[in-house]
Amino acid sequence: MEFLDLALLIRWFHVISGIMWIGLLWYFNFVQIPTMPRIPDELKPAIGKHIAPAALFWFRWAAASTVLFGLVLAFARGYLHNAMTLGFGQGSVAMTMIGIGMWFGLIMAFNVWFIIWPKQKIALGLVEADAEAKPKAARTAMLFSRTNTLLSIPMLYCMLAFAHGV
């Protein structure tokens, strides 16, 4: 019974982390990015120096913890290999669904840590960069964030399809 309780706890950490990650992803793409052009220039430093760095901290660590807890859960439940191979050779729609969701999550987490965050550090002036590099970095970060937003929809569908018995 203790193993089941631990697996349930891991699942809850995975779900809570995922809610934070996708919630912040959607906040950035549906609220912050579209609103920025309408914010007066004198108020923009508050967002760039205080709100965005704090939100990006929680965003990237929510991505990491979602993936970590999801992989640990799949391992603990004994389906990690089958899911990562998309259930090939099993004829399991459930393994294919969870596998697709897991791969989308991994791609999205990679984007967060290795593309979006490094580009956001440049765009927000958290690292030294030429003035002309900032808008280019901001655009790249925004495009990959939008890509993640699009991937989040089928990823969520696949995760829920698996959890609710396809």
Q: Where do the domains of the chain lie?
A: 2-163
In the predicted structure, residue 111 carries a pLDDT above the cut 90: yes
Sorting pLDDT into bands at 50, 70 and 90, what band is 5?
confident
How many Å is the maximal CA-CA distance in the chain?
A: 59
In the predicted structure, residue 90 carries a pLDDT above the cut 90: no
Tokens of 47: 């967002």
Question: Across all residues in the chain, what is the average pLDDT?
Answer: 94
CA distance 93 to 42: 53
CA distances from 69 to 74, 75, 131, 150, 151 (A): 9, 10, 39, 22, 19
CA distance 126 to 165: 45
Sorting pLDDT into bands at 50, 70 and 90, what band is 4?
low
Pick the more confident residue, 3 or 114: 114
pLDDT of residue 33: 93
In the predicted structure, residue 1 carries a pLDDT above the cut 90: no
